[in-house]
A and B are shown apart, each in its own frame.
Chain A
Amino acid sequence: MRGFWYMIEAILAGIIMISFLLVLAVGYGKVPGEYVSLKGYEILHDLDQQGVLRSYVIDGNYSGLGSQIKLFEYNHSVQICDQAGNCSGSMPDAANVWIGNYYIIAGEDQYQPYLIKLYMWRL
């Protein structure tokens, strides 16, 4: 019976120790999906604020737009879709799931609505 209680104590000690180590470990307790989604939106919004995004989109230059995006630990691809639903650019080339961010613009100097899709996935 004493041994049984020693076993319980050992189990509890093990749980406490490993939980403590996991909390200290990088990434546990964060919500990477939420952070990356916010990051993706901020990137597109910042490029729009800089006056860079719309000219690339109107020109259909998805690779140029993609080159303006710098992400650490993530790969990304950009698609530009017009009002008719025709998209230029590439879908994610990843085995794992990815996060998609969508940005809508009404146009730059004239009314030409586009949807910009930014896909991000871990390297």
Chain B
Amino acid sequence: MKAQFFILGAILLCSLFFIGLPPGQPLVQSPLQDMDYILQNLEREFPHALNLGLEDENPRQTMEDFTSWVRGLTQNFLLNFSSFWVFAEGDPLTGNVVVSLGNYMGSDMNVNLDLDGDQRNVFVQDGDSQSTTFSSVGSSYDLSVQFGNEARSFTWQRDKVNLFALIELVRGENIARSDVVA
């Protein structure tokens, strides 16, 4: 009789143990999983948006519009989106290069540009873009960009549109970041 009580007690304690276990993963998307996918998606779409803007002969406005829209969208995903982009359009006839800057980093900033030794300082408000024109640029040029605490250097071809975009997604302590160069 005593043994039966011990067996019953064992079965009861085993049952309590397994009842206390979580019943497997719920079908709920973890907030961490989508950041990588969205970042990869944006890495592809930023150059595409610029191409579409060039076809419309309105690249800077298109990039501004697209970046602002993405910023608003990602807020709905509880993501803090930041971006800084630079693209350069060269004119082989005149040798001019127009460098356009877009600042979506959350604060106004002074951007330092150095194109083959020609230095410029451009003030760009948060959520805005600016352009500056460099004259008599060679077929290949070195461009350095300092924005905030970041700095990047490139060697670009003048007769091609070149793009650099920094994209950063933040949610809590999780950060997904990427440099896009096209």
Contact = CB atoms under 8 A, between A and B. Distances in A.
Determine if chain A interacts with chain B.
yes
Interface in A46-67: none
Contacts of A86: none
A100 B30 CA distance: 11
Interface residues of B, number: 41
Chain A binding surface SS class: mixed
B47 to A, nearest CB: 9
B69 A121 contact: no
B10 A34 contact: no
Interface string B50-77: 0011011000001001100110010001
A18 B73 contact: no
A113 B28 contact: no
Interface in B108-139: none
A91 interface: no
Contacts of A115: 73
A92 B33 CA distance: 20
A104 B6 contact: no
Interface string A81-123: 0010000000000001111111111110111010100000110
B93 interface: no
B27 A32 contact: yes
Given A111-B52, A113-B69, A11 B13 contact: yes
Interface in B6-27: 6-7, 9-11, 13-14, 17-18, 24-27
A27 B14 contact: no
Contacts of A41: 34, 37, 41
Given A10-B10, A102-B77, A33 B38 contact: no
Contacts of B38: 102, 104
A8 B158 CA distance: 79
18 contacts: A6-B3, A7-B10, A33-B25, A38-B33, A45-B40, A99-B29, A104-B41, A104-B45, A105-B48, A106-B66, A107-B49, A109-B55, A110-B52, A110-B55, A111-B56, A111-B66, A113-B66, A113-B69
Interface of B: 2-3, 5-7, 9-11, 13-14, 17-18, 24-30, 33-34, 37-38, 40-42, 45-46, 48-49, 52-53, 55-56, 62, 65-66, 69-70, 73, 77
Given A37-B37, A97-B28, A111-B66, 15 more contacts: A3-B3, A7-B7, A7-B9, A10-B7, A11-B13, A11-B17, A18-B14, A36-B27, A99-B29, A104-B42, A106-B46, A106-B49, A111-B49, A111-B53, A113-B69
